[in-house]
Structure 1
Amino acid sequence: MDNGLRPDRRPAIAICAWDPGFTAWDPVEDLSGDPWSPVGARTLPVSGDVSAEALAARLSALIASGECGALLLVGRTAHPGTFRLQTRAENKSLTGAERLDHTGPGVVRATAPAAEIVRDLSAAGLTALAASDAEEDAGSYILYRILNDLPDGAASPAIGLIRAPSNVPDAKVQVAVKAAASVIARHLAPLPRSSAA
């Protein structure tokens, strides 16, 4: 860890619960006030306390600036009983009545390692699946915006969205988010020396 003398070269994973009412994921576990971080990376908690449009812009800017090398969106699913890793998002406005981007692709695919995340969730004792159906909510809207805003030709950062069923306790949500973030962290390289903060 950082001892105050050397820069922290761990890459950052932004973790964001897009609905401020979703309190099951709390990155701060103890009185230190420091957010939990997976091995090999550091967590950059991002509050979902703004509109979906503003949050999508904020997260896209974090990725574009290089401030974070990966993103995990966290929220609820309308489906009971199973954690769902959403693997794609559709080109729809927040109301779902029209296309969000008239020149953008109809569907974009999440870039997080879905099969590996589902495997690790299952190994942690959670029922999980990779779901290609996009739920019509702010999470899907934000996922589309961020993936569609990625520049062409650049190496794609790992971007994923994990959904928790409403009937699971907060402790299981914590396990699921940590497992997903830990998988993403295994695929991140340390920051170059000139970029370490």
Structure 2
Amino acid sequence: MLDTHAETVPDRRPAIVICAYDVSESGWNPVDGSSGLPWDPVGGRTIPVAAADPQTLASTLTARLMEPGCRALLLVGRTRHGDAFRIQMRAENRALDGTARLDLTGPCSARATAPVAEIVEAMNEAGLTAQASSDYEDDAGNYLLYRILSDLPDGADSPAVSLIRAPATVSDAELQRGVQTAAATMARHLSPLPRSTQT
């Protein structure tokens, strides 16, 4: 006899959207190689979003964060500086080409809402060299981070948003481990969804 109860019970784990925003990025694979299913951290579930042009992607990711049950976003990109993973702590108000402000009336910068210090600590403990950075890079990652953070509603329930940058020198396996470590750390800070939340 089939267990239909398990199929009808809603998934109350909070969701983390993970997006490698560069269309040429092949290092992050949202599928768990051993099971063929999407990789999920303990206490959370992941929603992979494919790369697209930055303007479209910003709207897509913002809409995802507004969905019931979605509590976090991890952007995945590359850094041009050094051989360590960089967790970007803030985004600058810069247009995609870096020549002007993105929002003429918006603040000069927006702070990431994810637990940056804990992510860095967890990655270093996992054997991955990582550091927090206040420096931004003129690319789609900074554009997306600023757009998404500036669109978040004010309040204690704002989702956790972070940008992890991997050095060009890391292998695909190291990138995979870095993203999973960062997402797992974020998941530990998310509370289960209330029973009334539909997923």
Deviation at 1:16, TM superposition (A): 0.3
Maintained 8 Å contact 1:86/1:132: yes
Q: Which amino acid aligns with 1:110?
A: A
Distance 1:3 1:181 in 2: 26
Q: 1:70 aligns with which of 41, 65, 72?
A: 72
Distance 1:167 1:175 in 2: 14
Maintained 8 Å contact 1:108/1:144: yes
Name the SS for the 1:181 alignment partner: helix
1:128 equivalent to 2:134? Answer no
Name segments (4+ residues, structure 1) moved above 3 Å. none
Q: 1:180 aligns with which of 179, 182, 189?
A: 182
Match of residue 144 from structure 1: 146
Deviation at 1:154, TM superposition (A): 5.0
Match of residue 13 from structure 1: 16
Q: Which amino acid aligns with 1:163?
A: R
* 1:182–1:31 CA distance, 2 compared to 1 (3 A): closer
1:29 equivalent to 2:32? Answer yes
Maintained 8 Å contact 1:80/1:167: no
Q: Which runs of 5+ in 1 are unaligned?
A: none
Distance 2:94 2:82 in 1: 24
Distance 1:173 1:4 in 2: 33
1:43 equivalent to 2:37? Answer no
Distance 1:4 1:47 in 2: 27
Pairs aligned (count):
195
Q: 1:109 aligns with which of 103, 107, 111?
A: 111
Q: Which runs of 5+ in 2 are unaligned?
A: none
Deviation at 1:66, TM superposition (A): 3.0
Superimposed CA distance per residue, residues 83-138 of structure 1 (whole angstroms, 9 cap, x where no aligned partner): 00000000010011111111110000001101100000000001110000011100
More deviation, 50-59/2-11: 2-11
Superimposed CA distance per residue, residues 44-65 of structure 1 (whole angstroms, 9 cap, x where no aligned partner): 00101x2101101110111123
Name the SS for the 1:3 alignment partner: helix
Distance 1:32 1:115 in 2: 31
Maintained 8 Å contact 2:69/2:193: no
Deviation at 1:152, TM superposition (A): 2.3
